[in-house]
Structure 1
């Protein structure tokens, strides 16, 4: 026995190893061998190694057969020697097993008959060993005969009825129900020489793996020339694989191992007396390698590795493609295989752990195969500038041209193909340069060239009456839909998405019609916007779907100059069919209303989405919206803007119309729109004189009279302007005793009618008449009571001086 292996088994580590092993050293103290018989024998016959049973036979008191003995093992220690003998006129086979040996015969007329035997049962065991290794010496000098190695793993139970289980000198042998007899577990056919009745098994019982190996010849030590023959035999090492057939994944519950000095399942009449088999160092082997390995280049072609199970490093002259991962088969029924690609090293690593692997007690039971690929240059898998996602399903070009202007506050987001890559960006002239680099690779450079084009800011949405259409039936300015969409699924927008249609029966002239439709089982809303549609997902509710201001595209945004107060739109809506609510929506009390919506968002020079993102609300200036219920007739809807921020020197209008404010809520809706108009108020919301409301004030009324003197009391007029961007100014007309307030709407520069003039007349009637000297009066406006202007120094009398009746002295 190998000394190191002996020490291992005797150490504390042996406790965990034994769960996957059998006691094959034979070095521990041998104990009494009590042969099993169906009559319950308790008499010992010789000795046997711990955990094993030798096929010694007890016939009756004084009649026994001892076929096994303790000898010196290979490299020291102990081993077992099995020797076939004759006893009571019968050949007794010598074997040792983990199960229980048994033998039977009936002596009639001094001749043994009905002889049979073998092994039943085994040890509890749950692992999947791949082979059995052992050292042996074989002496068959007494006649040609094969020795045998039998081992098997199984689950379930086989039971054979009426098996005789003892040797009877007088009468018949006692029969028992034998459990897990070797022949039955191995599925061997029953012959006339095999005793016992019917065999049954539990449901699913399976012989998982087996060995039935014949040891031929002998291990006699070769003689050198002239050397004397001392009839010496030498130790030989042998390893035999288990045959799992198709049961490699089957559960294992029990094991039996048998070493026999004769043909174990052969005819007993061929047993040769005194032939022997010595056994040592029995061990279960667990493989931790690969039987095959095949790798591919990034186009799926065979990389021709020239695989050798004992070679652990390979190279593939190609980058890795996870569509074509390496294929492999393990060597080891219970081995565990882990395979993973490491993007940092460009290595595909396959780790094979034997079933008996343990990091502390058996750390060497592991093999690691490494396939080195060419490390790819890192790339951008996505690039978005101000919400415009470039690339889509066809990947990202290295040179990109855009029609808009680059903004210093542009929101540039991206994802790199490698988490270990670094990304640097710089802007010079018209070009944004993005460099993606990683150690050990060639950097990848992307250039985005901005042409700098930008539309003039407007106060009204172009083509807001929907009269301008192209010959192909598209709105030719101002508005956009799926045909100009961006995002990962933009290439599918044309043939699949519900495009806007022109209708002739608008509120005035032509109008636009939006429809929702069910496309391949998914509801798609009708959609129209002054910005750009992003199609990032097939799920309508996904946050990757939105309208946005695309500042990279001259036609993908609407620069806006005004600060409107409201908007109006003429619309009609025909509802379709709502989708079914999910269980979660039902639990939350969700209700799907069939209604269209138009929403306008004014924002500053920054990215903006609709639906709105919390991270962008700081760029919002104002918004207004209207919900459009079912209506068959053209109906005017008005929405007022709610200002949450101040107007910006550079700002954009993102207007969106949809067949339902809930994405994917319904199908077959129809929303017609016409005459969208931004409204700029130019009126007074309040008018006071001397702190009190002017009698009869109404924003629409423009003529008022107050009692007072224009010269002295005009500063008592106060007012408030109605209109976020409106401006007001005052002017006086002394000759007519009036004060005028002119209110101009925010769009006055492009709309001369965007103003209202309020006139306040001053009633100069006084209850008393004062006086003034002629010298003083000549420096004022003096009129006769008939309204004639007096120039110079007036004569004494009653005049109207600066709007007041005075006596000139």
Structure 2
């Protein structure tokens, strides 16, 4: 009797044949046993447990070879070989259908055969079969048999005689049928002359997935101590037998059959011994949930020598975990599932093995957990970025880093840690940024970034903007940068990217050429030139990890800028290549790839800035200007005006970028030639008025004007507006020559003396004659020296400007 099954029955639970178990307790109510034969027998011969059939037969008389016996308040199956009409009937029980055949003439028998066909629907992969048995073979030496098998598909044998045909004057003739899933056929046993039936066929792919064919030898007779009476008692023994899956552990299972026989099931019938018996109870399918082997490695990939024992569930490795060298194992359990997980917080690698019959509610114990305890590593930084400069790349991050630029209190510092449980602290002492990464139970890891504080002087023009300066190895030697100085995770692959090249036939002298290229099918890379630094973070061109930026940590990675430019000009040529194929999403969105180059200039304050621009950095933008360069074979001048969205800053940078296409990875084999990039600072008037009205004939390029009025009295009626974001204007008065001058200086006047324009306004109502007046009469007049200085009080005798006219004072 099986207590587990008893509990299930008491609780009303029912085990389905489609579930992971079979009914092996035999304690429930037994039903009628109606032996099957090819003639359609309906005679009941004894009883049989639910789900099973005992090999009782009805060859004209009832032969009952199996029944139950009491055991511990429950039932067990007792199988006994019996003699009937001079023949020994084998006793067995099966999940399939027992059958027997013979043709007789009076008491003579020929063509005897039998066994089991069919089975039960089943989908699991049990690893073993366990049962209790009691064996009595005292009536003659003979083995009992345990057979079990799992399979998919169907075998069919033609013309199998499957009933007992009784004859008197001649032999009876058995009725033949096509038999499906006969035990011998599923198990792949050879057909002999003693095996009846015709040809055997199977469905495509039919497979015997696993099998057991086990002989129970001897008996279980209770040993009798010396002097004790032999009561001929037999005791129960427990047994577990593994299924043999061969190479089919992953094969699909559709059916199962289990057979217990009191004789050698597939042996010669003439050796069956009458009255030998086999009692069976507590039949269960066993599902393993352990490991057969386990191997772990240290951080360098060396064997950690665990001394594995399947029944030991905790191990220690004196090394940190490296996910390049994860533990290796083999499971015990054909249908078992294995889950693995490394817990960075505890530094434990956990292997959870669940049997195929695991269920959190009904069978929660069908699981084994193996834990490998590693040494907990100190947390580290897996990435560090300061103002867009990603330090480290694919070769990792050094603990001591030197940066040639400056560190700013408002610098944008981002990072990732090796452990989500780590904490990070930052401190700055004016030169060195210290980053401490800590986690409970480990030693902290300290990183230092020392800034040398070097910085270039702010300029009004981009250095080497005529592209005449090149190094001996063919690189621009000042002002501009490309992939050779890139940062980011993929910076070490910069040599594969298309580098700028020098050409001799520039607009004036030398020039620079940018080309786009297909990088071995991995990506299409635009030609790229910048006054900042290129970040190479991804092989996908449109990835946000790819951008140009002002790198304030590197003295060569940024361009401090002093000017407030109004426009720029550039000479360019562009030869288009081949556009890439649009994705389905781009086609659906109406995306169009235009083959054109672009140069863009962005002026921003003392903060990180990227191109392509980020919305989060919008507050740092001061102004920008750009031009698109279509196909043109000749050098052509392009002009772009700056659009100011913010106010100039005391500390600002110019981020200029030139590319073969404004869309990343848009095409290949484009060619963009550039020369003479020049920033323009306007120094002109945009408006000139006299007494509230526009001065007649005003044009910003015209510098001489005449107005009707009195210079001394009307100079304040001259008003103007300046053209130029950073331009300044001043007025001067020349009373002797009746002239007012307006001098407009461009923002770059400090480095360019020609950056100014002087406008002259003449006043035409002064007299050409010279009158006279006595000194006493001057008190009611405006009197100026010829140098324009007003005279207060009584002037000395001489020539003066009186009320705007030259007058002799006596």
Three-state SS of the structure 2 residue aligned to 1:729 is strand
> Following TM superposition, by how much is the alpha carbon of 1:76 offset from its aligned partner in structure 2, in angstroms?
3.5
Q: 2:29 — aligned with what?
A: 29
Correspondence for 2:76: 79
Task: State the match for 1:57 in structure 2.
Answer: 57
The 3-state SS of whatever aligns with 1:404 is: coil
Partner of 1:662: 663
Q: CA deviation at 1:487?
A: 1.0
C-alpha distance after superposition, 1:660-713 (max 9, x if no partner): 222222222222222211111111000001110000101111111110111211
Deviation of 1:429 (Å): 2.7
Q: 1:737 to 1:236 in 2, by over 3 A?
A: same
CA contact (8 A) 1:624 1:639 kept: yes
| TM alignment of 1:768-787, pairs within 5 A | 774-777=775-778
- CA distance in 2 between counterparts of 1:485 and 1:198 reads 76
Q: How many residues align?
A: 802
Structure 2: distance between partners of 1:607 and 1:664: 24
Task: State how far apart, in whole Å, the 1-side matches of 2:793 and 2:99 are.
Answer: 156
The answer for the alignment partner of 1:164 in structure 2 is 161
Instruction: Report if the CA contact (8 A) 2:708-2:763 is conserved.
Output: yes
- Secondary structure of the corresponding residue to residue 285 of structure 2: strand
Asked if the contact 1:139/1:275 (under 8 Å) is kept, the reply is yes
1:502 — aligned with what?
Answer: 502
Identify if the C-alpha distance between structure 1 residues 783 and 563 changes in structure 2 by more than 3 Å, giving closer, same or farther.
Answer: closer
Residue in 1 aligned with 2:146?
149
Structure-2 residue corresponding to 1:113: 110
Partner of 2:65: 67
Cα distance in 2 for residues equivalent to 1:223 and 1:615: 92
Distance 1:27 1:776, change over 3 A: same
Aligned match of 2:41: 41
SS of the aligned residue for 2:68 comes to: strand
- Aligned equivalents of 1:266 and 1:10: distance in 2? 41
**In 1, Cα distance between the equivalents of 2:725 and 2:341?**
62
Map of 2:722 onto structure 1 = 721
Change in CA separation of 1:354 and 1:653 when aligned onto 2, cut-off 3 Å: same
Identify the residue that residue 454 of structure 1 maps to in structure 2.
455
Decide which moves more: 575-584 or 364-373: 575-584
What is the alpha-carbon distance in structure 2 between the residues aligned to residue 723 and residue 396 of structure 1?
47
Q: Report the Cα distance in structure 2 between the residues aligned to 1:222 and 1:158, rounded to whole angstroms.
A: 46
SS of equivalent residue, structure 2 residue 34:
coil
Contact 1:502 1:512 in 2 (8 A): yes
C-alpha deviation, 1:109, in angstroms: 4.3
Looking at structure 2, the residues matched to 259 and 679 of structure 1 have their Cα atoms a distance apart, in angstroms, of: 101
Q: Distance in 2 between matches of 1:410 and 1:204?
A: 67
Matched ranges for 1:379-778 at <5 A: 379-494=380-495, 496-521=496-521, 522-764=523-765, 774-777=775-778
The CA deviation string for residues 364-400 of structure 1, in whole angstroms up to 9 with x for no partner, is 1111111111111111111111111100111100000
Q: Which residue of 2 aligns with 1:95?
A: 92
Report the CA distance shift for 1:155/1:638 in structure 2 as closer, same or farther (over 3 A).
Answer: same
Matches within 5 A, 1:198-217: 198-217=199-218
- Between stretches 591-600 and 190-199, larger displacement belongs to 591-600
- TM-score between both structures, scaled by the size of structure 2: 0.95
| Counterparts of residues 256-267 of structure 1 (less than 5 Å) | 256-267=257-268
- 1:515 to partner: Cα distance: 2.1
> Kindly tell me: are residues 731 and 783 of structure 1, through their superposed partners in 2, closer, same or farther at Cα, counting changes over 3 Å?
closer
Task: Give the Cα separation in 2 of the matches to 1:714 and 1:220.
Answer: 137
Contact 2:290 2:331 in 1 (8 A): yes
Q: Quick check: 2:17–2:120 contact (8 Å CA) kept in 1?
A: no
- The question of whether the paired residues in 2 share the 8 Å contact of 1:686 and 1:719 is answered with yes
Q: Secondary structure at the match of 1:509?
A: coil
Partner of 1:122: 119
Look up the SS of the partner of 1:58 in the other structure: coil
- How far the C-alpha of 1:727 sits from its partner, in A, is 0.9
> In the alignment, which residue of structure 2 is the partner of 1:802?
803
SS of structure 2 residue aligned to 1:584? helix
Cα distance between partner residues in 2 of 1:795 and 1:223: 161
Partner Cα distance (1:532, 1:418) in 2: 30
Deviation, structure 1 residue 253: 1.6
Deviation of 1:346 after TM superposition, in Å, equals 1.1
The CA deviation at 1:782 is 6.9
Q: Deviations over 1:214-253 (max 9, x none)?
A: 0000111111111111111111000111111111112212
State the alpha-carbon separation in 2 of the partners of residues 417 and 333 from structure 1.
37
Q: 1:702 to 1:148 in 2, by over 3 A?
A: same
Contact 1:2 1:76 in 2 (8 A): no
Which deviations, in whole Å up to 9, do the C-alpha atoms of 1:93-147 show, x marking residues without a partner?
1111111111111112421211111111111211111111111111111111000
Q: Does 1:2 align with 2:2?
A: yes
| Conservation of the 8 A alpha-carbon contact between 2:530 and 2:548 | yes
The alpha carbon displacement at 1:627 in A equals 1.5
What CA distance in whole angstroms lies between the structure 1 residues aligned with 2:509 and 2:27?
107
* Residues 17 and 122, structure 2, Cα contact 8 Å, conserved in 1: no
**SS of residue matched to 1:603:** strand
Q: 1:581 to 1:734 in 2, by over 3 A?
A: same
Q: How far apart are the structure 1 equivalents of 2:29 and 2:635?
A: 105
Structure 2 unaligned segments of length 5 or more: list them. none
1:784 to partner: Cα distance: 14
CA distance 1:293–1:795, shift in 2 (3 Å): closer
Change over 3 Å in CA distance of 1:800–1:300 after alignment to 2: closer
Looking at structure 2, the residues matched to 140 and 794 of structure 1 have their Cα atoms a distance apart, in angstroms, of: 157
Gaps of 5+ in 1: none
1:768-792: per-residue Cα shift (whole Å, max 9, x none)? Answer: x99987513279677999xxx9999
TM-score by length of 1: 0.95
**Cα–Cα, structure 1 residues 795 and 367, in superposed 2: closer, same or farther, change >3 Å?**
closer
Task: Quote the residue 1:364 is aligned against.
Answer: 365
Question: Structure 1 residues 184 and 696, CA, compared in 2 at 3 Å: closer, same or farther?
Answer: same
CA distance in 2, matches of 1:670, 1:278: 91
Question: Aligned in 2, Cα 1:396/1:730: closer, same or farther, shift over 3 Å?
Answer: same
Q: Distance in 1 between matches of 2:292 and 2:738?
A: 110
1:778–1:794 contact (8 Å) kept in structure 2: no
Mapped to 1, the partners of 2:785 and 2:92 lie a distance apart of: 153
Cα deviation for residue 753 of structure 1 reads 1.4
Q: Deviations over 1:412-446 (max 9, x none)?
A: 11111111111111101310000111111111100
Deviation at 1:10, TM superposition (A): 3.5
Instruction: Tell me if structure 2 keeps the 8 A contact 1:17–1:361.
Output: no
1:354 maps onto 2:351 in alignment: no
* Structure 2 counterpart of 1:285: 286
Q: Distance in 2 between matches of 1:299 and 1:638?
A: 60
**What is the alpha-carbon distance in structure 2 between the residues aligned to residue 40 and residue 605 of structure 1?**
98
Residues 584-593 or 383-392, more deviating: 584-593
Per-residue CA deviation, residues 124-181 of structure 1 (Å, 9 max, x unaligned), is 2111111111111111111110000111111222221221121122221221222211
Change in Cα spacing, 1:616 to 1:784, as seen in structure 2 (3 Å) is closer
Contact 2:687 2:720 in 1 (8 A): yes
Cα separation, 2, equivalents of 1:242 and 1:795: 135
How large is the RMSD of aligned CA atoms in angstroms? Answer: 2.6
Determine the C-alpha separation between the residues in 2 that align with 1:119 and 1:659.
79
Cα distance, 1:792–1:22 mapped onto 2, change above 3 Å: closer
Seen in structure 2, the aligned counterparts of structure 1 residues 791 and 269 have a Cα distance that, compared at 3 Å, is: closer
